[in-house]
Structure 1
């Protein structure tokens, strides 16, 4: 039944998805068709707008045709040149508009022919109107010209008479001008006012009238012919006018008819588009509804999945918490004996004479240190998976690392009769990188090679594969003559808790190569394998490094063993007798008063009854834990409630570390601890207490050694005061920056701030402060941040002592 429901649900899911796909395709097609129709509608509207524009052009053509008529009539009544210019301009405008109309009628031959006809008719009518104007002008000019010629001849004729005088001649000229002006105004009147002799006037009048009568008769004969031509041309002009009107009306009717067709097409197109939009909207609504149903279904299933995920997360967190507790307990149990092994080995190395025994002790110390690192790797295995492990960049001796790593397996190889070979051709002496991580990779490879090789040899080789400037790519290979690895198993061996064969499971956990592969990836390198069953295996590493130089402080590595404590009382509380014995051995060479207790109850009693300078308490003890003891002491306000207290713990949990500091501990020291780190921590913490209790004179003698004489030689008192002020302000800022650098874990800032503080300290000849700053600058890239914080506390203590002495 469950399987049927599951299949049914899957079927519905497939149907819904299929419906969504089909609807999406249909909606896309419908939307595209609607878009096409809308585009066609816009095109039709644009075309209809062009037709309306054509009608406007036709109206303008009609206007200019009428304007031509108006201008020619005006010229016939008053022959001014402006009217002729306006006439010609109207003709040109009409032709230009007709050409524009022909452009709009592209590929419409019928309409183009109508436009050509209209253009020709207008031109012909313009010719007729021009001829009419010319005939009217000729009629008037001929009459005036004949009269003028005869009048101008009158003085000559009268001169032939006997009694003619100059005044009479002027009279005839005057009379001729008057007649000429009268005829031009189409008036046949003669205005003259003369006072000549009667006989001569009568004779002159007779001559004039006779000539006028002849001119009138001739003019009437010529005017009759011109009026006939004028009548003919006016009729012809009217015919052209009517044709022009007919052509314009034809074009307008065609435009209006096509406009109606376009409007009808647009209406039909709008109707179709509306139908398409309705279909598109309906399909979109259906798609939206199905999508909504699908989303609601998805949300419901998602909530169920989230509930399952929350439950799985809770289980994973509980498992991780249980794993963390298990690892913390395991770490505590392993670190406690490791502390004794590492500590006593260090004590034996102090007094061991050079030779085979010292070399064996050094191997034990190196192996124990590496075992501690491996323990940390197992605890931080989840960080490796998440790529949260950071590689250090420190200068180290590459050849020394390879040789020391090989020496660790000499005894193991001798027991199996194997020959160990090394070949380090042309490799650099010092490189920058993570020495421990490289050692860890090579140790894993060598251990596997010796473990799976029964006879023959194991060879460790190193060479430079690529070199560019200060960048170098190293080829490090481990080759053996062992059983070899089949091709189908070569990938499997790099998986966690995997072995090449079932028989190999008895020889290890299968974790070493997995960790090595992850570390090689962290180096951004390559891990290659060449192997053949029965002929051996070669594991090849290609790793990039930066060339480095040997630090000057390396040759003085043992100088820190000169730390000596004296005149202080120390309480030590630990339930492990090995740790008590180790601490007793460490403090044996120091002039201190040591009190040892085996549990928290004894430690609390001692702290309530005696005065100590410092207390070192194990966090986990029977009875009262170290956390409970420090809380009671701090809250009790007794004799030791302000003394520095150091937590000695084997835990690696950050939460437990925070709880230790919150309970009242001043410092935390992890097991196994370094002797020098412990002594330095005690020295700095007790120095702080002494600073608070001692007067200024003791501070100057103990921790605040300085000398202002050098500054006095360089300048006056004001100069010395100014330099001291600069030292105080700049050093105070630098100390604060050092503390921030520790919090942010920025090593480069530690070196920079120490470098800034050195010149002012040297000017004051503050030798202790200069030594402390130089040590911080040298160790900034090598020590842990806990160890570096101790150095910064020492610097601050010395600085406070100097400033207090300067005030005194």
Structure 2
């Protein structure tokens, strides 16, 4: 029940998390949108109300009109009326501009009313300005004053007769004619004229007074109308200003409401965010808890996988050992029987046994290689080898098999460098798998192995190696599948193999950093193409051809053989039967150690896995003990050679390690190499002159391999290459390049070893060790020692060869 509840809770949390996330995102978007709207509204509200400013400006122009009309009443100059009209035009323009910014029809109507009132008020003001009765009264007053001054002028000449023309002039002024016929007694002319003028003036003034009263009444009415219009204009402007103020207040209220709504949404968003955070924390805690469980499960699974891998490795090692041990006996005794005289029927039967054992060994090697490749425990070796010779070896291996099926084996080489640095064994293994498959699935036609250069630089080359057949071909849908483990193109092909060859080849190609392509059509054949990168190398000495290696004969050697399998002991006895050697047999490690500590041997051949004490433990005790065989060469035999076993054998003190079942010739060659010095001494082989008790060189090995011309060629190669390396060593010291020193020393070792020049080999090995840390002065002195030994060897060789 608790598990169900936990699962239910987990499902709820897993569903709630995305739902809450979506809701939070939606609310966050809404809050963000409203917040932006509020900010925009606030920015809009913060701007000044241009309508209010415009209304204030309109009031200013109205006041300016009133000021101009008042000035015109006092001073009737035309510039006051022009200013009045300009202010009126500006006022009407401002009203029109305000109307364009208003969407409310009611407010637009108010502006229309304002425009109409302003027009009426301007008209009234213009009429008021036109009423100018003050001008007439002022003119009459001036004329009265002038007439009142006439008596003073006329008193100067009372007797003078007023000319007729004068009378007519005054008559024209006042519109009436005077009869001047008074020939008897009359007032003076000036008095009469004064009275008449005053009478006329009195009449004119009365009339002007009556007209002035009428104008004043008209002016009063216009002023009243103007005041009423002005009040209406002011009231209308105040209303419009109040509308604008109310609009601003409404905007403020809207902002407040928007801020309140935004605040609520922000609160909701914050609450949802908190819930989301809480759910996330719960989810993370739950995830971490489950992650810890998963990690524990993964660690447990990893431990189990590692234990399984170790168990698999141990199983394969034990299985290999258990299979290889009897296979060693089968293959070994089969080879021994094939050397004896027998009937053709018996020889054919033994050939079947030999082929079957070789097939089982090949199958076992594939399984072990696959296991090591899967565990990333395969490391490529790096040595100088001949590409053409290595590939031709593969062709020679399959010549008989191809000939039996009537197939032609062809090889083509186009511009391939002679030597490269790499792993020739893995190259041979890859090409062997490809050629083997090609022969297996080809019933007629040919198999062509071609090699060319895909890409090349000064130091690198990418080889294109192709194996092309005229066989059954592979369907398109199967072409990638065949590179998988235990997979084949057809189910019926399982009877012809395990399907590991191409899988191993593909893994080895990847390990080289190369690639593999396939080009195939059903019933038209298949072409497998490898692209493999290598470093270009330069050989110092030609490699010997195993096919030309003469049969090795061992004489007068004392050999200890230790193995817990009786038939392995019998097989080794049979191998050494044709050689004049003395054998001591031990069936466990303890017996072998006791024998080694009690009497000297020329070589000890030990099985690695023995009951009680393993071969490693025997050699470890032997090297630690100051006995007769402390420096005796030892050879290890094992069913499997893992990287760990190689390292351990070298560390413990084994001189060589070989895998069972072994090739007899290779085995005898190894024994011969390990015991060469003692064999030569016992056979009375003459050495050249000595240095500090050590022979400078020994040509017996070269003489056993080839004829006189071969020995001469090897000696000349040694002299030329060694002289060149010594010159390069001095250059490397001058340039202070340690890697070049080590490399040149490494190049000198193989030819020196071929000549068994032990003193030179020891000096070169010491130079190799010094190249990493010693001072360049010390290195230079060691090069001089190497050069001195080389010069002595060269001098002696020139006299001997």
Per the normalisation by structure 1, the TM-score is 0.51
Question: Matched residue of 2:518: which SS?
Answer: strand
The residue number in structure 2 matching 1:539 is: 526
Residue 35 (structure 1) shift: 3.7
CA contact (8 A) 2:324 2:361 kept: no
- Are 1:324 and 2:313 an aligned pair? yes
Of 399, 412, 417, the match for 1:410: 399
Residue 315 (structure 1) shift: 1.3
In 2, Cα distance between equivalents of 1:419 and 1:724 = 53
1:274-300 deviation per Cα after TM superposition (whole angstroms, max 9, x unaligned): 444454455445545555555444444
Distance 1:464 1:511, change over 3 A: closer
The residue number in structure 1 matching 2:543 is: 557
1:234-284 deviation per Cα after TM superposition (whole angstroms, max 9, x unaligned): 999977865664454233211222233333333444444444445445544
1:594-625 deviation per Cα after TM superposition (whole angstroms, max 9, x unaligned): 99997877887899899999999987677665
- Are 1:457 and 2:453 an aligned pair? no
In 1, Cα distance between equivalents of 2:125 and 2:452 = 106
CA contact (8 A) 1:64 1:93 kept: no
In 2, Cα distance between equivalents of 1:98 and 1:700 = 125
Distance 1:296 1:798, change over 3 A: closer
When the two structures are aligned, how many residues end up with a matched partner?
Answer: 606
1:384-424 deviation per Cα after TM superposition (whole angstroms, max 9, x unaligned): 586987798988545x665543332233345xx41112456
The residue number in structure 1 matching 2:503 is: 514
- Are 1:45 and 2:42 an aligned pair? yes
The residue number in structure 1 matching 2:252 is: 263
In 2, Cα distance between equivalents of 1:260 and 1:648 = 105
- Are 1:526 and 2:535 an aligned pair? no
- Are 1:476 and 2:461 an aligned pair? no
1:119-160 deviation per Cα after TM superposition (whole angstroms, max 9, x unaligned): 999999999999999999x99xx99xx99xx9xxxxxx9xxx
CA contact (8 A) 2:471 2:526 kept: no
Residues 285-296 of structure 1 aligned to structure 2 (within 5 Å) = 285-296=274-285
Question: Matched residue of 2:448: which SS?
Answer: strand
Residue 318 (structure 1) shift: 0.8
In 1, Cα distance between equivalents of 2:509 and 2:401 = 26
The residue number in structure 2 matching 1:378 is: 368
Distance 1:103 1:311, change over 3 A: farther
In 1, Cα distance between equivalents of 2:432 and 2:238 = 108
Distance 1:660 1:255, change over 3 A: farther
CA contact (8 A) 2:562 2:606 kept: no
Residues 500-511 of structure 1 aligned to structure 2 (within 5 Å) = 505-511=494-500
Question: Matched residue of 2:562: which SS?
Answer: coil
Question: Matched residue of 1:457: which SS?
Answer: coil
Question: Matched residue of 2:408: which SS?
Answer: strand
Structure 2 unaligned segments of length 5 or more: list them.
Answer: 147-152, 154-200, 336-353, 550-556, 678-690, 698-726, 753-763, 773-777, 789-801
The residue number in structure 2 matching 1:801 is: 782
Query: Which structure's CA Rg is the greater one?
Result: 2
In 2, Cα distance between equivalents of 1:701 and 1:123 = 139
In 2, Cα distance between equivalents of 1:806 and 1:238 = 134
1:67-110 deviation per Cα after TM superposition (whole angstroms, max 9, x unaligned): 999999999999xxxx99xx99x979988995997499375676
Residues 20-39 of structure 1 aligned to structure 2 (within 5 Å) = 20-39=17-36
Of 567, 575, 594, the match for 2:562: 575
The residue number in structure 2 matching 1:420 is: 407
In 1, Cα distance between equivalents of 2:42 and 2:652 = 89
The residue number in structure 2 matching 1:105 is: 101
Distance 1:513 1:556, change over 3 A: closer
Distance 1:111 1:406, change over 3 A: farther
In 2, Cα distance between equivalents of 1:72 and 1:617 = 139
The residue number in structure 1 matching 2:737 is: 734
Distance 1:609 1:263, change over 3 A: same
Distance 1:59 1:556, change over 3 A: same
CA contact (8 A) 2:408 2:447 kept: yes
Residues 369-768 of structure 1 aligned to structure 2 (within 5 Å) = 375=365, 378-379=368-369, 381-383=371-373, 397=387, 403-414=392-403, 417-422=404-409, 427-430=414-417, 436-437=425-426, 439-451=428-440, 456-457=443-444, 459-461=446-448, 476-480=467-471, 493-498=482-487, 505-519=494-508, 523-531=514-522, 538-544=525-531, 553=539, 556-558=542-544, 575=562, 628=617, 652-655=641-644, 730=734, 733-735=736-738, 754=744
Structure 1 unaligned segments of length 5 or more: list them.
Answer: 151-156, 158-213, 346-363, 563-569, 589-593, 684-696, 704-722, 740-749, 755-768, 777-787
CA contact (8 A) 2:619 2:654 kept: no
1:566-619 deviation per Cα after TM superposition (whole angstroms, max 9, x unaligned): xxxx9998736999989x99xx9xxxxx99997877887899899999999987
Question: Matched residue of 1:541: which SS?
Answer: strand
Distance 1:468 1:381, change over 3 A: same
Distance 1:69 1:524, change over 3 A: farther
Residue 496 (structure 1) shift: 2.0
